[in-house]
Amino acid sequence: MVTMRALDKKLFRDIRRLWAQALAIAAVLSVGVMIMVMAFGTQRSLTETRDTFYDRARFADIWSSAARAPKTLVEEIAAIPGVARVEARISQFAVLDLPDMSDPAMAQILSIPASGEPVMNALIVKEGRLPGFGRRDEVVVNEAFALAHDYGPGDGFSVTLNGQKREVRITGVVLSPEFIYTIGPGSIMPDDERFGILWMAEDVIAAAFNLSGAFNSVTLSVTRGTDLEPVRDDLEALLKPYGGTGSYARDQQVSNAFLDGELEQLDVMARIVPPIFLVVSAFLVNMVLGRLIQLEREQIGLLKALGYSTGEIAAHYLKLSLGIGAIGVVIGWLMGLAASQAMASVYVEYFHFPYLVFVQRPSVYVIGAAAGLLAALVGAMMAVRRVVGLSPAVAMSPPAPTRFRRGLFDRLIQVMRPQQPTMMILRAIGRWPLRAALTSLGISISAAIIVAGLFMFDSFDELLDVAFVQANRQDAILEFAIERPEAVLDAVENLPGVMRAEGSLSIPVRLHHGHLTRTIGIEAARPGNDLVRVFDGDDRVEVAPEHGLVLAKRLADHLDADIGDILEVEFLQEGDTRYRVPITGTVAQFFGLSAYMDMETASGILGHMPRLSLANVEIDDARREELFEAVKASPAISGITYMSEVRRGFDETIAESAGITLTVYTFMAALIAIGVVYNSARIQLSERARELASLRILGFTKGEVSYILLGELFILTLVAIPVGLVMGYGMAAGMVESFKSDLYALPLIVTDTTYWRAAGVVAGATIVSALIVRRRIDRMDLVAVMKTRE
């Protein structure tokens, strides 16, 4: 007991003496634990919130649509094996005339059954009530749209239904599991001001669109364990005679797919970032303890001579590392818990969930603690094993001088003929190359984190340039309620303010290549159109479909197809015939999985005159208000997307997150750099205090002594920065691959600004650490240091 008490007293004295270095190590380790707890905790909470909401709101499993199907078909759909519930409904798009906006807005309008409550995708009423049956002027709106306009029950606006403009009044504000993330046609980000979801009584919307006794949208839920593919096949077969457009499951439902993407990104963060901090922590523990043990060789030998066993001495130093690790783990737990709660609350508000199910699994904290303590323990074991096995006599003797041989580095120094202080720095690096390399590697990781964290903003700039300048050059997109002949472009060009109009047709198809299939929409347009171009985002060139198909590269990869391969194209609304069409090109695109075809080729296959589903227009901005009024009054137009507003929304979203992201990654990178540089400098000061004091006595100035001690770290930092920038580029490339999905893909772009920012953060952190240590050098008691034995 006496033995352990004495060593424990030494343990507490060591922690108190090394508090600054211990805190620096604990801070780095705590960030790794914090990110692990935060990311997994947020992911778990968001998943539980989603699953609870989906379950309580009876979120559907399968969606499909048709041109016009009779309600008698519902019984046949319900009879499909595995189907638990069926809900037939009406879904249409409409233009809104809002009193607080001059721009026309757009809405998707869905029907509420006569029973007053949807069988699936239940509406959670936040304010007011649902519309009454037969009430032509009553609607409920989604919460995001209501908040964007400060609308509530009793407020009203105008909506154009199938060419008829009518005044409606809001009776309620609701949430729906289908629209936790609401994106309108032609948009890439939510724009809650200009796109909303409206629900009306089924009889009212059916009468407006001539769909009484019919439906054009259907949702299904299946029994647990049911294979979705056979159900989807049977559903499509039933709807095909009525203009069915195929079906899709939850993973392709837009709102849910974006949420899944966020969850995947949290998973990537939890699995990639914490190990970086834990590895750095292990390195720092090894560096500090390794040099501490070397400085305490004599004490270790004395303890062994007094009867302390090797195991007891090793346990003492391991407990020191675990003490530092425990401090980091506790700090990481507390920060992770707070960050997890904050992030989960932000996500719930961003995705418009009605509540938060905050879940913290003890296993995450246990794993975080185990990882943090293991990192500290591994670093300590690597340091302890080198000394504690020495015999008392050897341990109490000064270490044998290291054998140095003149190598290439010494010859380079001789050729360079630097001044004496610089020569001392270079020789220290050359004679302890492994130590120098590890220190430089630790510093380089901080630069890599900055690059990996901020490259996304460079990628977004490229993405926006391609999406809104190079490929999509129209000012607005006009959506038609039904497909129109090409002659409609003449009417569009006669609208006030429209200087040019080009049309395109979206055709629902299923592509087949061997056993692989994909249901998408082909965009068919005239070859001469240049407001919207089939544009390759990588090579920045236009790719013409000619007499075949141009596919997005990610879509081609899904189908395991390449240029020259033949695909079988099944036009979902045009019978069961499959047409063999060659792939004439592939393009790198950042949004969606797209396919393109020449209008003449598509019309020839389909056997009818060219038709259009939308018009891309160039607008005279001076007559913008006139155009908006004309669009609101036009019965043929079901919606308008103003491209400048889409980009503005995207820019605002990026700007909101840019400052936070920059601060977080700068903090993490600076923490690593300070941890490595400060600990290295403090250890070197402890090791070389007598040497530096001797130089001061011999006449070296404080600046020269500081230069000798800190110059090595500055050189290692200069070497580390370019290495870290290369590492950061590699990490960014890995993140780009991990983020790829059917919805979007980021280009790998890293600008000089990001590289300079990373270099500046690392250099700044190094300078701050050096200045802290410089104060200790200036205050060094030369007499006391010289009295210290080697």
Name the phi and psi angles at 172, rounded to 5.
-165, 160
| pLDDT tens-digit series, residues 519-548 | 888 899 988 888 888 888 777 788 888 888
723 confidence band (pLDDT: 50, 70, 90): very high
The backbone region for 493, taken as left when phi is positive above 0, alpha when psi lies in -120 to 50, beta otherwise, is alpha
141 confidence band (pLDDT: 50, 70, 90): very high
- Which of 223, 110, 233, 220 minimizes the C-alpha distance to 176? 110
- Which of 452, 16, 33, 17 minimizes the C-alpha distance to 281? 33
2 confidence band (pLDDT: 50, 70, 90): very low
| pLDDT top residue among 8 and 74 | 74
199 confidence band (pLDDT: 50, 70, 90): very high
Distance CA 760, CA 767 (A): 10
- The H-or-E segment that residue 84 falls in is strand 83-89
Q: Give the SS3 label for residue 98.
A: coil
Please compute the mean of the pLDDT values over residues 399-416 and round it to a whole number.
Answer: 58
Please compute the mean of the pLDDT values over residues 44-71 and round it to a whole number.
Answer: 91
Q: Give the SS3 label for residue 73.
A: helix
Distance CA 785, CA 776 (A): 13
Least confident of 40-54, 100-114, 409-423, 558-572: 409-423
**Winning range, highest mean pLDDT, from 116-130, 255-269, 340-354, 566-580:** 116-130
- Cβ atoms 257, 181 nearer than 8 A: no
Q: At what angle do helices 702-739 and 420-431 cross, to 10 degrees?
A: 40
- Cβ atoms 80, 62 nearer than 8 A: no
Least confident of 244-248, 628-632, 737-741: 737-741
Residue 687 predicted with pLDDT over 80? no
Residue 174 predicted with pLDDT over 60? yes
| pLDDT tens-digit series, residues 265-309 | 777 777 777 777 777 777 777 776 676 676 677 777 777 777 777
| pLDDT tens-digit series, residues 504-519 | 998 888 899 988 988 8
Distance CA 117, CA 96 (A): 25
Distance CA 643, CA 650 (A): 11
Distance CA 527, CA 598 (A): 6
- Which of 372, 305, 377 minimizes the C-alpha distance to 333? 372
- The vertex-302 CA angle with 297 and 307, nearest 5°, equals 125
Residue 150 predicted with pLDDT over 70? yes
Please compute the mean of the pLDDT values over residues 399-419 and round it to a whole number.
Answer: 59
CA dihedral 42, 46, 48, 50 (to 10 degrees): 180
* SS3 sequence of 502-517: EEEEEEEEEEEECCEE
- Which of 533, 509, 505 minimizes the C-alpha distance to 612? 505
Amino acid 209 reads: F
- Which of 312, 57, 324 minimizes the C-alpha distance to 178? 57
| Residue position matching structure tokens 């096949």 | 233
Q: What pLDDT was estimated at residue 655?
A: 66
Q: How far is CA 380 from CA 62, 180, 207, 441, 664, in A?
A: 55, 49, 77, 19, 29
Please compute the mean of the pLDDT values over residues 118-134 and round it to a whole number.
Answer: 90
Q: Which residues contact 689 (CB under 8 A, 6 or more apart)?
A: 780, 785, 788
Least confident of 42-46, 70-74, 140-144: 42-46
Q: For residue 86, what are the β-bridge partners?
A: 220
Q: What pLDDT was estimated at residue 181?
A: 85
Please give the structure tokens belonging to residue 38. 């935060």
Mean confidence (pLDDT) of the chain:
82
Distance CA 244, CA 761 (A): 57
Distance CA 495, CA 499 (A): 9
- The vertex-14 CA angle with 679 and 309, nearest 5°, equals 115
Amino acid 71 reads: K
Residue 1 predicted with pLDDT over 50? no
Distance CA 770, CA 762 (A): 12
Q: Are strands 549-552 and 535-536 parallel, antiparallel or unpaired?
A: unpaired
- Cβ atoms 20, 682 nearer than 8 A: yes
- Cβ atoms 583, 460 nearer than 8 A: no
Distance CA 703, CA 471 (A): 58
Residue 777 predicted with pLDDT over 60? yes
Amino acid 377 reads: L
Amino acid 298 reads: E
Can you count the helices (H) and strands (E) in the chain?
A: 22, 22
Radius of gyration of the chain (CA): 34
Sequence ranges of the domains in the chain? 1-67+231-400, 91-210, 432-472+645-790, 498-619
Q: Please list, residue by residue across 187-198, b when 16 or more beta carbons sit within 10 angstroms of its beta carbon and e when fewer do.
A: bbbbbbbbbbbb
| pLDDT top residue among 383 and 103 | 103
Q: What pLDDT was estimated at residue 647?
A: 77
| pLDDT top residue among 206 and 541 | 206
Distance CA 263, CA 532 (A): 33
Please classify residue 115 by burial: count the beta carbons closer than 10 Å to its beta carbon, then call 0-12 exposed, 13-18 middle and 19+ buried. Answer: exposed
Q: What pLDDT was estimated at residue 228?
A: 92
DSSP one-letter code for 467 = I
Distance CA 563, CA 552 (A): 11
Distance CA 179, CA 121 (A): 10
